[in-house]
A and B are shown apart, each in its own frame.
Chain A
Amino acid sequence: MRRRTFVSSLATGAVAMSAMPATTLCAGAEQQPFKLKYAPHFGMFKHHAGEDLVDQLEFAADEGFTAWEDNGMKARTKETQEAVAATMARRGMQMGVFVAHTIHWNEPSLTSGKQDYRDMFLEQIQDSVEVAKRVNATWMTVVPGYVDLRLDMGYQTANLVESLKRASDILEPHGLVMVLEPLNPFNHPGLFLKKIPQAYAICKAVDSPACKILDDLYHQQITEGNLIPNINAAWEEIAYFQIGDNPGRKEPTTGEINYLNVFKHIHSKGFPGVLGMEHGNMKPGKEGERALIDAYRSVDSF
């Protein structure tokens, strides 16, 4: 929207107008929904909307956001979960991921094949079903955890696949999906799942609609680059995206990824899902929040 307004003003020679944010032109009015379902996090707009979760959702909806993401949703009270879900239903917002299980950052868990870790994981997946239903979520994040240096990669993969198959048995009847998230080894050295092709192979082995890929573009730009070709190659297993520019893990336009074109590409493929804004704000305070929203408007203007 904004890009187009801007371009046409340029064409008529009104170059000076270009710096004026669209939000100033229509202050107070509800913004057009974004073309893709970008999902902010709690806290991202607290300088505008305050600490209250419902107020933050209302603010985001007014700004045109049509989804939300809350990694820590499982730990919130039932009352809070219900209040968030009710607000989102009223505002027509879609819920993104929450983290489904305890992530083992420093010790082998699902890769080791040990029964106690598998039982704990499956119990947590079972608990997540109830939470997902309460907050109208379809997707939940799974991070397979640390490598087991005692085992060859082949055995670790087989151990993980077995746990994921059992988890799929739990989720599939409910139409729920766990999304496997590869993380970058620069920030998270030692984790098992790093690359999109690796996640793709695991999803193919699990062979269930309940087991898909979360492609976090920030992590993947660090780990392997080549974002669009990797998206294309793994497309049928990717159910969810997360966003963050590199370096810095802040909003689009603050780093080396041309999100305008990446989003255009994802949109052109008819992606129906959510893209979680799992990143910080580049600048502090109200000004930073406004800059972040402006940045999303600019990269959504394809």
Chain B
Amino acid sequence: MERRTFVKTSLAVGGTALAGGATMSLAGRISPAKHTLRGNINHSVCKWCYPGQSVEELAQAGKAMGLASVELLEPADWPTLEKYGLVCAMPFGPSVEGKDRLTDGFNTPENHEWLVPGFNERIREVSEAGYPSVICFSGNRRGMDDETGLENCAKGLEAIMPAAEEHGVTVCMELLNSKVDHKDYQCDRTQWGVELCKRVNSDRFKLLYDIYHMQIMEGDVIRTIRTYHDYIGHYHTGGNPGRNEIDDTQELNYPAIMRAIVETGYTGYVGQEFIPSRTPLVSLSEAVVLCDV
């Protein structure tokens, strides 16, 4: 039933695009979605999935389709969002030359030397901008066992929790798949992430539950969200297999998952992180409508 409703709404958006033809501007094609949004989900989008759009173009188009945030951006891009009344719901953490912030993470004590001061500074910046969260990563295993990874991550994260708590910023570690996109990444299981949350023991450390990545690693998405939502601070989307659109071209029923998220009382953001295989901004507006339960 829900799916039918979705088809109706998304076709209404697509239908406008067809009716408007080449003469209608892109903003005109995607803006109808704005009027259908229900306000239960705060919609966000990950910039890296739109290499053909500048931050400004994505912010402008996103605003028109009802997005509240463009995410995974550096501080230099934040003023652009401000122009459009948008936030960066999930900014990048710090980086240093010679290190990859995704594969070189909190699980390796040497990295704490740059991660701890870098995060303390970034947390302050995020707080000043009025944003809720900042992303972090475990890093790759490189032969490390689960327990050592937990101990190391907890130690590094505990060092930045005072700043996070003082400034009211939630540090979110992303769960990624280690089979297809990020081989050897350590934070690849919800159970492991939840155990890390319990050890860090602060409301300012949570998980970024990426639905696409966890469908590859685990499945059982809705039960996992219902069970562990207290430990989840942010959500990402993506179609499986392929990481493209999240509609009927892939194996998950996103409206049902979004309803489960809303039912947990979640007030954060949902970041669209699929790689558009069709017209990018039209795909984005369709995903927003699809997730607007």
**A residues near B, CB below 8 A?**
3, 6-7, 10-11, 15, 18-19, 186, 220-229, 245-247, 253-262, 265, 291, 298
Most buried by B among A221, A225, A245: A225
Q: Is the CB of A262 within 8 A of B219?
A: no
Chain B 172-200 residues near chain A, CB threshold 8 A: none
Assess whether B215 is interfacial by the CB under 8 Å rule.
yes
Closest 10 A-B residue pairs measured CB to CB? A225-B219, A225-B215, A258-B253, A221-B219, A222-B220, A256-B222, A226-B216, A227-B251, A256-B221, A228-B251
Assess whether B7 is interfacial by the CB under 8 Å rule.
yes
Asked whether A261 and B256 contact (CB < 8 A) given A220-B219, A221-B219, the answer is no
Number of inter-chain CB pairs below 8 Å? 95
Chain B residues, Cβ within 8 Å of A10? 7-8, 11, 15
In whole angstroms, how far apart are the Cα atoms of A265 and B239 in the complex?
14
Assess whether B249 is interfacial by the CB under 8 Å rule.
yes
Chain B residues, Cβ within 8 Å of A228? 240-241, 250-251
In whole angstroms, how far apart are the Cα atoms of A260 and B1 in the complex?
13
Q: Is the CB of A260 within 8 A of B248?
A: yes
Assess whether B214 is interfacial by the CB under 8 Å rule.
yes
Q: Is the CB of A247 within 8 A of B15?
A: no
- The A interface is mostly helix, strand or loop, or mixed, namely helix
In the assembled complex, the CB of B166 is this many whole angstroms from the nearest CB of chain A, namely: 38
Q: Is the CB of B219 within 8 A of A255?
A: no
**B residues near A, CB below 8 A?**
1-4, 7-8, 11, 15, 214-223, 240-241, 248-254, 256-257, 260
Chain A residues, Cβ within 8 Å of B249? 261
In the assembled complex, the CB of A302 is this many whole angstroms from the nearest CB of chain B, namely: 8
Closest A residue to B215 using CB positions: A225
In the assembled complex, the CB of B82 is this many whole angstroms from the nearest CB of chain A, namely: 36
Q: Is the CB of B253 within 8 A of A256?
A: yes
Chain A residues, Cβ within 8 Å of B15? 10-11
In the assembled complex, the CB of B28 is this many whole angstroms from the nearest CB of chain A, namely: 19
In whole angstroms, how far apart are the Cα atoms of A186 and B248 in the complex?
28
Q: Is the CB of A256 within 8 A of B248?
A: no
Q: Is the CB of B3 within 8 A of A225?
A: no
In whole angstroms, how far apart are the Cα atoms of A7 and B11 in the complex?
8
Chain A residues, Cβ within 8 Å of B248? 258, 260-261
In whole angstroms, how far apart are the Cα atoms of A245 and B260 in the complex?
14
Closest B residue to A15 using CB positions: B8
In the assembled complex, the CB of B43 is this many whole angstroms from the nearest CB of chain A, namely: 20
Chain B residues, Cβ within 8 Å of A15? 8
Q: Is the CB of A225 within 8 A of B222?
A: no
